[in-house]
A and B are shown apart, each in its own frame.
Chain A
Amino acid sequence: MDMHFDQHISRQFNEDLESLKTEMLEMGGLVARQVADAVDALANADSELAEKVLQVEEEIDRCEMELDEHATLIIAKRQPAASDLRMVMSVIRIARDLERMGDEASKIAKMAIALTDEGTAPRGYTEIRHIANAVRKMMNDALDAYTRFDVESALKTLAEDEQVDMDYRSAIRELVTYMMEDPRSISRVMNVLWTLRSLERIGDHAKNICEQVVYLVKGADIRHGNKKNLR
């Protein structure tokens, strides 16, 4: 079924739904920027950029609360049904994922500050860069799929999470081996580990966004591996 959110008898309803979606995508853009900045701050030992990420975090929290409030108002005023209802529900869910992605970006920024303070570049940066590129792509593709109501692309992006999880696990194994060989590096490598963990979580949230694209367009709840719900 084609998705049309601009054809209600009430033009105000069209505008409400449109601005809800726009706000959510703006928040998505902001969070994507945060993740990119946090990773750059870490890679370039740029603690100034990391500080900026920590400041913008508050703005993201505010976005989440605003989106929730607008979605609540739409439910109260319009009692949306069918695709309209799914649109509102998906925005509420995605806003929460985005906010958590923002939290992870802040954690990475904190690691960046800690690692910069310690000076020398430790092991694991290659893995960070590799996984960061993968989850940033996932995140952008997920939001893009939402913008275009593109289920196919959402499912493709969703599947990429498996590779990220595998890369994450093999990076962890490697870093654990490294720590065993050189216990003096443990505190530094732990920061790298936490960063990888945050990136992996961001990938999970991107996957959740993809699932909401499927829910919005197809009305099927495929969370927690329930792909069979997709007719």
Chain B
Amino acid sequence: MSTMTLNAGPAAAVGDSTAEQNLVNTKADIKTVGSPFCDDAKLRMRNVNVFYGETQAIHDVSLDIGRNQVVAMIGPSGCGKSTFLRCLNRMNDTIEGCRVEGELSLDGDPIYGAKVDVVPLRARVGMVFQKPNPFPKSIYDNVAYGPKIHGIASRRAELDEIVENSLRRAGLWNEVKDRLDKPGTGLSGGQQQRLCIARAIAVSPEVILMDEPCSALDPIATARIEELIDELRENYTIAIVTHSMQQAARVSQRTAYFHLGKLVEVNDTETVFTNPEHELTEAYITGRFG
């Protein structure tokens, strides 16, 4: 039988409750519950550990990201979800003292290893960041830059086509088609973020990583991006880190909950938001502790 504690006086406020004490006691020994693996995995991660110098940021995380699937990663600040996301296209390489262990592969190709060239890897695994960061160039050049340096297109006609297609897919074409030569930085925040998404898809990546792509945007721009994520899923595999639980619930098919560098639960998004398996997941998504 379940216990009931409904008559909450001020004394029952968060800090001193036995339930939270129980949660704290279980933290030391967290094993991932749910279904972290899938049959048709685009990205396969096994026993991933990440260290920043002496500090371990990710503890033994194993997870698959399925093809044409949106996986949301949620968890309190500092839980390691962004660190984990950044392992997937080796963005952590740029951080001094950061060490990544474990097996990570993209369609069977190892992501880490002496022989792996990160430049084509990052063309295959694109990224969109929290703050829109267009280059200080024209809208056109922002999108054309990637295809140019990756040698995907050189002729103007080819580039024109890629730019238009990418902007269309990012849902921005109609708003910018008459001012492609204007600076990308002159667009609104939401438009800039969609420009960054257009820039990411211009190099025809297979995977798009998104690190809180909407946290700097207003609700309308956010809704546009969420709509876009759903459309992009047809052609791409997407991993998104978000602080908005509702966003995770809306855009993803699977949700992964991270806590103190450990992967606590991975399940179908429906399950996570209606009947999560792990009590830490339940506590987080219902706002029982921060």
Contacts and interface: CB of A to CB of B under 8 A. Distances in A.
Interface of A: 1-11, 13-15, 18, 21, 79-86, 147-153, 217-220
Given A2-B2, A81-B274, A9 B19 contact: no
B1 interface: yes
Interface residues of B, number: 32
Contacts of A85: 273-274
Contacts of B276: 82
B6 interface: yes
Contact of B20 (A7, A13, A80, A151): A7
Nearest to A150: B1
Interface of B: 1-8, 10, 12-14, 17, 19-20, 245-246, 249, 273-276, 279, 281-283, 285-290
A8 B4 contact: no
A149 B1 CA distance: 7
Contacts of B5: 4-7
A21 B274 contact: no
Contact of B273 (A14, A81, A149): A81
A217 B4 CA distance: 11
Q: Which of A2, A7, A85, A149 has the most CB of B within 10 A?
A: A7
B274 A3 contact: no
Contact of B287 (A9, A18, A21, A153): A9
Given A7-B283, A9-B14, A150-B1, 11 more contacts: A6-B7, A6-B17, A7-B12, A7-B19, A7-B288, A9-B287, A9-B288, A18-B7, A81-B245, A82-B285, A85-B274
Nearest to A149: B2
A8 B1 contact: no
